[in-house]
A and B are shown apart, each in its own frame.
Chain A
Amino acid sequence: MSTTATTAGADNQVAAVGGGADAAATGGSTAPGRTQMQIVVVGHVDHGKSTVVGRLLADTNSLPQGKLEAVRRECERTGKPFEYAFLLDALSDEQDQGITIDTARCFFKTASRDYIIIDAPGHIEFLKNMISGAARAEAAALIIDAKEGVRENSRRHGYILSMLGIRQVVVCVNKMDLVGHDEGHFNRIETEYRAFLQGIGAVSPKQFIPVSAISGDNLSIRSAKMDWYQGPTLLETLDGFAKAPGKSEASFRMPVQAVYKFTNAGDDRRIIAGRIEAGRVKVGDKVIFSPSNKSTTVKSIEGFNIAPRTEIDAGWSTGFTLSEEIYVTRGELMSHAGRAPQVSTRLRANVIWLGRRPFVQGRDYKLKLHTVATSVRIHKLLKVIDASEIDGQLGKDHVGRHDVADVVLETRNPVAFDLIGDSEATGRFVIVDGYDVAGGGIITAAESDEQDDLRAEARRRDFNWVKGAVSAAERAEQQGHRAALVMFVGKSGTGKHRYARALEKALFDQQRSVYMLDGSNVLLGVDQDLVWVDANQAELVRRFGEVAHLLLDAGLLVVSTTNAIGLGDFGAVQALIPHAPSLVIEVDPGGASTQSCDLRIRGTESEADVIAQIVDLLTKRQILAAAAPQNAR
Chain B
Amino acid sequence: MNYLDQLEQQSVYILREAFRHFERLCMLWSIGKDSTVLLWLARKAFFGHVPFPLVHIDTSYKLPEMIAYRDRLAMEYRLTMVVGQDEEAIRAGRTFPATQHLPDGHPDKLSRVDCCGILKRDTLKATLQGTRPRKRLNLDTGKYEPDADLLPYHGVIVGARADEEGSRSKERYFSPRDKNNAWDVGDQPPEFWNQFKTDFAPGTHVRIHPLLDWTEVNIWEYIKRENIPTVSLYYDQGTGTRYRSLGCGPCQAPIQSTARNVDEILVELRSGKLKDVAERSGRLQDGKHGLEELRREGYM
A→B interface (CB under 8 Å): 18, 20-22, 25-30, 36, 64-65, 92, 95-105, 118-121, 128-129, 131-133, 135-136, 164, 246, 257-258, 260, 262, 264-265, 267, 269, 271, 273, 275, 302-305, 315-317, 319, 330, 354, 366, 368, 425, 428-430, 432, 434-437, 440, 632-633
B19 touches A258 (CB 8 A): yes
Q: Is the CB of A317 within 8 A of B16?
A: yes
Q: In the complex the two chains form, is B48's CB within 8 Å of A164's CB?
A: no
Given that A27-B163, A98-B286 are known contacts, is A315 also in contact with B5, CB under 8 Å in the complex?
yes
Q: Quick check: B47 and A304 within 8 Å, CB to CB?
A: yes
Residues of A within 8 A of B141 (CB): none
In contact, A435 and B47 (Cβ under 8 angstroms): no
- Minimum CB distance partner of A22 in chain B: B275
In the complex, what residues of B have CB within 8 A of residue A429's CB?
Answer: 193, 195
Chain B: residues with Cβ within 8 Å of the partner, total of 61
Apart from the given pairs A25-B217, A305-B44, 10 other A-B contacts in the complex at a CB distance below 8 Å: A21-B276, A104-B167, A105-B162, A129-B170, A164-B192, A262-B51, A315-B5, A315-B6, A425-B194, A440-B190
Can you give 29 A-B contacts (C-beta < 8 A)? A20-B275, A21-B276, A25-B270, A26-B215, A27-B215, A28-B163, A29-B3, A29-B217, A65-B276, A101-B163, A104-B167, A105-B162, A105-B163, A118-B169, A128-B189, A131-B190, A304-B43, A315-B1, A315-B9, A316-B9, A317-B9, A368-B195, A429-B195, A435-B199, A435-B201, A436-B197, A437-B190, A437-B191, A440-B190
Nearest to B23 among chain A residues (CB) is: A633
Q: Which of A21, A96, A135 meets B193, CB within 8 Å?
A: A135
From A27, A28, A269, A429, name the one whose CB has the most chain B CB atoms within 10 angstroms. Answer: A28
> B residues within 8 A CB of A103?
167
Note all chain A residues with C-beta closer than 8 A to B1. 246, 315-316
Is A132 touching B215 in the complex (CB atoms < 8 A)? Answer: no
Bound-complex Cα distance A271 to B280 (A)? 40
Q: Mark B37-65, 1 if CB is under 8 A from A, else 0.
A: 00000011111110100000000000000
Q: Does B271 contact A (CB under 8 A)?
A: yes
CB-CB < 8 A to B217: which residues of A? 25-29
Nearest opposing residue in chain B for A271, CB measure: B47
Binding site for A on B (CB under 8 A): 1, 3, 5-7, 9-10, 12-13, 16-17, 19-20, 43-49, 51, 78, 162-170, 172, 188-195, 197, 199-201, 213-215, 217-218, 221, 226, 269-271, 275-276, 278, 280-281, 286-287
Nearest CB in chain B to that of A40: its residue: B169
A264 CB contact (under 8 Å) in B7, B49, B215:
B49
CA distance A273 to B49 in the complex (A): 14
Say how far A420's CB is from chain B's closest CB, in angstroms: 11
Is A632's CB under 8 angstroms from B51's CB?
yes
Contact at B163–A121, with CB atoms within 8 Å? no
Contact call B276/A64, Cβ cutoff below 8 A:
yes
Which of B9, B192, B197, B281 has most chain A Cβ within 10 Å?
Answer: B192
> Which B residues are CB-close (under 8 A) to A430?
192-193, 195
**B188 surroundings in chain A (CB, below 8 A):** 128-129
